[in-house]
Structure 1
Amino acid sequence: MSKTSLFTLKTTTLCLLISTSGFSFAANQVGDNLPYFDAQRQTVQKNVEVLDFSTSSSQELAAYLATIPRQQAPKEIVEAFKVATENNRKIAPEYTEMMEHQAAIRQVPVEQLFAEASVTDWSVNQKIIKSMQQNQAVEELNGCTTVAFNNGIVGQTNDLSINALSDNTTIVKTDSAMFLPTDGAHFQGMGKHVGIVINFLGITAGDDGLGSSNLVSTDAVFAAATSAKSIQDFINKIEGYSTITPLNFTLADDQGNHAAFRIHADGTELISGHTRGVGHANHTEGFKQNMLEKMEAFQANQAFFNTFAREQAVYSFLDYSPELTVESMQWLFNKKPINLSKYQGKDFVTVEAMVFDVKNGCAYVSGDNPRFTDYSKTCF
Structure 2
Amino acid sequence: MENTSAPAIDFARHDRIRPIRWTGQSLELLDQRRLPFEVEYLACADSDEVAAAIHALAVRGAPAIGISAAWGAVLAAREADAADGATALAQIEPALQRLNAARPTAVNLAWALARMRRALAGAGDDWRDVLEREARAIETEDLAANRRMGELGAGLIEPGSGVLTHCNTGSLATAGFGTALGVIRAGVALGRIDKVFADETRPWMQGSRLTVWELQQDGIDATLIADAAASHLMKDGQVDWVVVGADRICANGDVANKIGTYQLAISARHHGRKFMVVAPSSTVDMDTASGDLIEIEERDQAELLGVAGSRIVAEGIRAWNPVFDVTPATLIDAIVTEKGIVERPDEASMRAMFGR
TM-score (norm 1): 0.28
TM-score (norm 2): 0.29
**Which of the two has higher C-alpha Rg?**
1
